[in-house]
Structures are given as C-alpha cells and as structure tokens.
Amino acid sequence: MNKLMVLSTAACLAFGLWTSANAAGDMQTNKGTNTEGNRNSTKSVAPADIALADGVVRKVDRQAGMVTIQHGELKIVGMPPMTMAYKAKDAAMANRAKEGEKIRFRLENVNGTYIITKLEKQ
C-alpha cells in the first residue's frame, strides 16, 4: 500500500512538471492579450487567486500538517483526479480539516511542493 502511494505521488509529480511548462507558456500568452482576455472572460481559466476546487477530506495528519484530499482534475497545477496527501498552509488549517468533510480548496505548487493555500467547507 505504501509502495502504491509512492508510485502515484511520483506519477503525479511527473505530470505536474510536464504541464507546468505548458502553463508557463499560456501565462505569457495571456499577458500579451490582457485587454481582450478581460472582455471575453467566459473562455479563459479563472485566475489562481479566485479558483477553488471541490474535494473531500479523506485523512488529516495534524502532527505532520498534512491533509489527504480526494479531488477531481486540478488544471491550475496540472493534476489528474486522485486522492493524495497535501501539506496544509499552516497548523490552523490542518486543525480545522475534518475527515469526510466536503470542501473547496486551492492547491499551489510552491517550489515543487504542493501546498493547500485555501480550504473552506462546502
């Protein structure tokens, strides 16, 4: 079981690295067409500071500050649907999380580490 978790984490990281290159390219493109993008906002992906993803808390490790979340595809960090443990932004966030709770959350890739920067009840 542990081995499986390691494998899925590795696959997830590889996937994230692969898509982050594409995401960087997209960002530059968006900068160039900023005024157009704002007018026609239905087509563009919501900015990282607004978009929250749906998920379910599967496990909370308060000692380690880790929250295991079952989630769908996370386009912002380029992650396919999966259940995975992520580092909470701070201890307060990990303490607040409850197993089985439906949440809305934001995941950010900070120097190669996925961090939950926002977590709220659905």
Q: Is 53 a binder of Cu ion (CB under 5 A)?
A: no
User: Which residues share a beta bridge with 85?
Assistant: 68
Closest approach, Cβ 28 to Cu ion, in A, equals 25
Name residues contacting Cu ion, limited to 9-38 (CB under 5 A).
12
Compute the least distance from the CB of residue 2 to Cu ion, in Å: 16
* Footprint on residues 85-114 left by Cu ion (CB under 5 A): none
Rounded Cα distance between 33 and 59, Å, is 42
Quick one: DSSP state of residue 74?
B
**Is residue 60 a contact residue for Cu ion (CB under 5 A)?**
no
For the bound state, the minimum distance from the C-beta of residue 54 to Cu ion, rounded and expressed in Å, comes to 15
Interacting residues with Cu ion between 70 and 89 (CB under 5 A): 79, 82, 84
Residue count (the chain): 122
Angle, CA 18 vertex, CA 76 and CA 87 arms, to 5° = 50
Tell me which residue of 112, 100, 119 sits closest to 52, measured CA to CA: 119
Going by the DSSP 8-state scheme, the letter that residue 79 receives in this structure is B
Where do contacts with Cu ion occur on this chain (CB under 5 A)?
Answer: 12, 79, 82, 84
